[in-house]
Amino acid sequence: METDNQTWVREFILLGLSSDWDTRVSLFVLFLITYTVTVLGNFLIIILIRLDSRLHTPMYFFLTNLSLVDVSYATSIVPQMLAHFLAAHKAIPFVSCAAQLFFSLGLGGIEFVLLAVMAYDRYVAVCNPLRYSVIMHGGLCIRLAITSWVSGSVNSLMQTVPMCTNKYIDHISCELLAVVRLACVDTSSNEIAIMVSSIVLLMTPFCLVLLSYIQIISTILKTQSTEGRKKAFHTCASHLTVVVLCYGMTIFTYIQPHSSSSVLQEKLISVFYAILMPMLNPMIYSVRNKEVKGAWQKLLGQLSVLTSKLAT
């Protein structure tokens, strides 16, 4: 991130979503509530999975990782955005901008690979249920989780962005495409890197997810039992919903750096991905999941008993 004359940019100005004070205050309140729900919801899911032995399965092990990624991703962007809603000078230091870019790229890559891993887990559960515990053993689950975290982190380390003296970033955060637009030198190598990254960490996992669900749907349709078919669909519906939302938005934004999407569209998609998706994930996995709802009821029952004992 250096200019042609070796002059370092010390800080950037994020233009954000609006310059109107009333609008910024309203957005601050809305996003503060959303971020609070995101953090509480994801940490409650993690705690619930940790406390209930019935949820100590590969599916919920990967869900724990997904919740950690969601909280981390939101935290890398939202607190700074909230501060800028109320600040007159919306500056972000160079180091903070670089760190934000690094973590957002890394955590985004981790999530894409992790969703593909979760699709494979669902594939084994539906298409090869008798050998599920043998195939998805603890060692494999740990290796798959590590692969997700390492691949996203390596991708983030490999992305370098040239900077010039233009310090105004027309975005809500130091997002990759917004930062590349600041460059005053040839960015063709950066665009190639973005395309390669999109293929390796976005399209490849997405294709693996599609293949997994083609096999899953084929197997479900061959199931004779209506109850078994319904149970299989419920098992995969939550993950498939997250996959469609997550991959769909990102492919629309990143697969073509010179796409016709406007800066406003990029901002809104970033808001959805950084704020709404991390909040929706625990809800999506909880609302129609009988195991999670059962674990909630068990935990609430234990808390009720404990409260009664303390009261007496």
Give the type of residue at 194.
Answer: I
State the total domains in the chain.
1
Nearest partner of 194 among 164, 158, 153, 247, judged by Cα: 158
pTM of the model: 0.83
How confident is the model at residue 1, as a pLDDT? 45
Q: What CATH number has the domain bearing residue 167? A: 1.20.1070.10
Do 55 and 138 form a contact (C-beta atoms < 8 A)?
no
Residue 133 lies in a domain: yes
Diameter of the chain by CA atoms? 74
Q: Report which secondary-structure segment, H or E, holds 124.
A: helix 94-127
Name every residue whose Cβ is closer than 8 Å to that of residue 198 and which is 6 or more positions away in sequence.
Answer: 251, 254, 255
Which residue, chain included where needed, has tokens 């250096």?
Answer: 2
Residue 269 lies in a domain: yes
Instruction: Quote the Cα angle for 97-99-104, to 5°.
Output: 95
Residue 69 lies in a domain: yes
- Per DSSP, the three-state class of 42 is helix
Mark residue 3 as left, alpha or beta (left: phi above 0; alpha: psi -120 to 50; beta: remaining).
beta
Q: Do the bridges between strand 91-93 and strand 168-169 make them parallel or antiparallel, or are there none, so unpaired?
A: unpaired
Residue 161 lies in a domain: yes
Q: What is the DSSP string of 246-305?
A: HHHHHHHHHS-TT-S--HHHHHHHHHIIIIIHHHHHHHHHHHT-HHHHHHHHHHHHHHHH
Residue 4 lies in a domain: no
Count of Cβ atoms closer than 10 Å to residue 295 Cβ: 21
Residue 201 lies in a domain: yes
How confident is the model at residue 68, as a pLDDT? 93
Residue 6 lies in a domain: no
Low-confidence ranges of the chain (pLDDT < 50): 1-6, 259-260
Domain that holds residue 246: 11-304
Residue 236 lies in a domain: yes
Do 110 and 200 form a contact (C-beta atoms < 8 A)?
no
